[in-house]
Amino acid sequence: MKKTITAAVGGRNFIFDEDAYDALKNYLDKFRIALKAPAAQADEIMEELEMRIGDLFKEELFGREVVDIKIVRKIVMQLGMPDGSEPSFGWSESHGSGWTGQTVSAPQKKLFRNPDDRIFGGVCSGLAVFFNIDTSIVRILFLIALFLGSAGFWIYLAFWIVLPLAKTPAEKCAMYGMSPTAENMNRFHNSI
């Protein structure tokens, strides 16, 4: 019989078996130590990481109630460490399979306004990232549409209203079609 522990991860409550809880706590502690960021920025990164872990737990549970070691291992391997290295905690295979060989499907790009390369609202830059073209081309097309009957203004305004701004590192990873691993989110966290 195993103990279960209720803990909040990313603002959501989950029930962990004891091994899974210890493994996740160990990972988060080592992750915080591996961060090369000031304390305030490290707190933001850890909060974003916990929110991402909470989302991944929800996806993995499929109606089950308890987070087990297999789920924690899969998520830890998917996220990695801030320096890009694989986490190594000496977990033995007696806790179940799934430590290596996990494949993660490539994430789909999502359309956001880009706050890092914007003149007004980041619409042109967001569209350029999504379609993988130069931002200048998109801006020129909007200017041409503006001078040919103000359609450019209304289209730009509609995109500005509809498209969300990529604020968090996880959203910026989704905008570029990158996996929201710890290393990738750390890249974008410096631009906030």
pLDDT digit string (tens) for 167-191?
888 888 888 888 777 777 777 765 5
Q: CA 51, CA 99: separation in Å to the nearest integer?
A: 22
From first to last of its 192 residues, what are the pLDDT tens digits of the chain?
678 888 888 888 888 888 888 888 888 888 888 777 777 777 888 888 888 888 888 888 877 778 888 888 888 888 877 666 666 655 444 444 333 444 445 568 889 999 988 888 899 999 999 999 999 999 998 888 888 877 888 888 999 999 999 888 888 888 888 877 777 777 776 554
Q: Scan for tokens 């029930």, then name that residue.
A: 15
3-state helix, strand, coil in the chain (%, to 5): 55, 10, 40
At residue 13, the 3 state secondary structure works out as strand
Distances (CA, A) of 169 to 94, 110, 165, 178: 35, 13, 11, 11
From the list 29, 45, 34, the residue with the least C-alpha distance to 180 is: 45
Residues 6+ apart with CB under 8 A from 79: 49, 52, 53, 56, 180, 181, 182
Q: CA 127, CA 110: separation in Å to the nearest integer?
A: 10
